[in-house]
Structure 1
Amino acid sequence: MNEAEKSDHDGPSLRQQAIRLLARREHTRAELAGKLAGLGTPEEIQTVLADLEQIGLLSDARAASAYVRGHAGRFGAARLRQTLRTKGVPAEMIEEQVAELPDEIVRAREVWERKFGTAPRDAREWAKQARFLQSRGFATEVIRRLLKESTA
């Protein structure tokens, strides 16, 4: 049985599986390698990934850019950085993506207005709003400044 016949009986080839995943959304090399693990040997997976990079179907920079574009309206720079790190994006590429974002205070204000819209009435509510913004990855100084402006 040749390779083409084998892939018909055993399901899609490693390359076909990788292309299917990339058709749904951009993936980093590390993410795609993780999703393909168990479907082939590490050497086969690395070969497929190298081929996909060479023909332009796989790009860490494009995946990072797509992620940041899609999530910058909801998360702060710290959260975006952390998620990109877990996706295997190199540190210098992460910093390039984060540097292109609008001012963090502007993004934090938009998130805060969607969630709360009114200034905290007391210390307990101030803490609640601050914790929410912190969980979204906004810097402590940005949160302090935003909540101070809202109560002024």
Structure 2
Amino acid sequence: MKKPKPEPLDRAGLRQAVIDLLSRRDYSRLELQRKLQPKAASADDLTAVLDDMAERRWQSDERFTDAFLHSRSDRYGPLRLTQELQQKGIADARTAVAALDTDWQERAAQLALRKFSGADLSDIKQKARIYRHLAQRGFNADHIRYALEQLAAAGDPHGSLSDDEISPGWD
């Protein structure tokens, strides 16, 4: 038996829905709009409610961006963070990520050392696996090269690999 479809939300219902969502965590305006658009009786009502929330500073894209970057910048690189923020409707995502006081090369090296310490970097498949892992997390080629150098130095205290030995040849 199918559940009856709920009635579309009027302005008061939308306001309550936004408050309920924001009481759990911060959302970008676009996220709220995407979540509530199918439930709204009118797009104008939804826009008015979201404008009111932003005016009262109950919803803030800046606060959302700060919280988002704080929670994810220890696991992901600048490329992925920028892409995810853009998908969530943050127009100045690139600027927000650039404003972080983060050494992305060191962050990539820390992630590589944590996950791949003791890896055999003479094996091209293993090196490619590490490269892919860091690339999928949003680190660029320079960050990954540095991480591979650090990984090689940690595994071989007497020397490090040359650039030709570090790059899997995908550049």
Same fold per TM (> 0.5)?
yes
More helix by share: 1
Q: Superposed, which structure 2 residues align to 1:57-72 within 5 Å?
A: 57-72=58-73
Shift of 1:27: 0.5
Specify the SS of the correspondent of 2:90: coil
The letter of the residue matching 1:33 is: Q
- CA root-mean-square deviation: 1.8
Report the equivalent of 2:146: 145
How far apart in 2 are the matches of 1:31 and 1:48?
A: 14
Q: Assess, with a 3 A threshold, how the Cα gap between structure 1 residues 97 and 134 changes in structure 2: closer, same or farther.
A: closer
Q: Larger RCO: Structure 1 or Structure 2 (Cα < 8 Å, ≥ 6 residues apart)? A: 1
Shift of 1:17: 0.4
Specify the SS of the correspondent of 1:37: helix
The letter of the residue matching 1:20 is: D
Identity %: 33
Runs ≥4 residues deviating over 4 A: none
Report the equivalent of 2:102: 102
The letter of the residue matching 1:83 is: E
* Aligned 8 A contact 1:81 1:98 in 2: no
Q: Superposed, which structure 2 residues align to 1:9-48 within 5 Å?
A: 13-40=13-40, 41-48=42-49
TM-score by length of structure 1 reads 0.86
* Aligned 8 A contact 1:72 1:101 in 2: no
Number of positions where the alignment pairs a residue of Structure 1 with one of Structure 2: 142
How far apart in 2 are the matches of 1:23 and 1:113?
A: 38
Larger Rg: 1 or 2? 2
Report the equivalent of 1:50: 51
How far apart in 1 are the matches of 2:97 and 2:15?
A: 29
TM-score by length of structure 2 reads 0.77
The letter of the residue matching 1:80 is: L
How far apart in 2 are the matches of 1:55 and 1:70?
A: 25
* Aligned 8 A contact 1:74 1:136 in 2: yes
- Deviations 1:78-133 (Å, cap 9, x if unpaired)? 00000000000012x54134322411012112221222123434211111100000
How far apart in 1 are the matches of 2:87 and 2:139?
A: 18
* Aligned 8 A contact 1:65 1:97 in 2: no
The letter of the residue matching 2:142 is: E
Specify the SS of the correspondent of 1:13: helix
Report the equivalent of 1:4: none
Shift of 1:44: 0.5
How far apart in 1 are the matches of 2:71 and 2:112?
A: 18
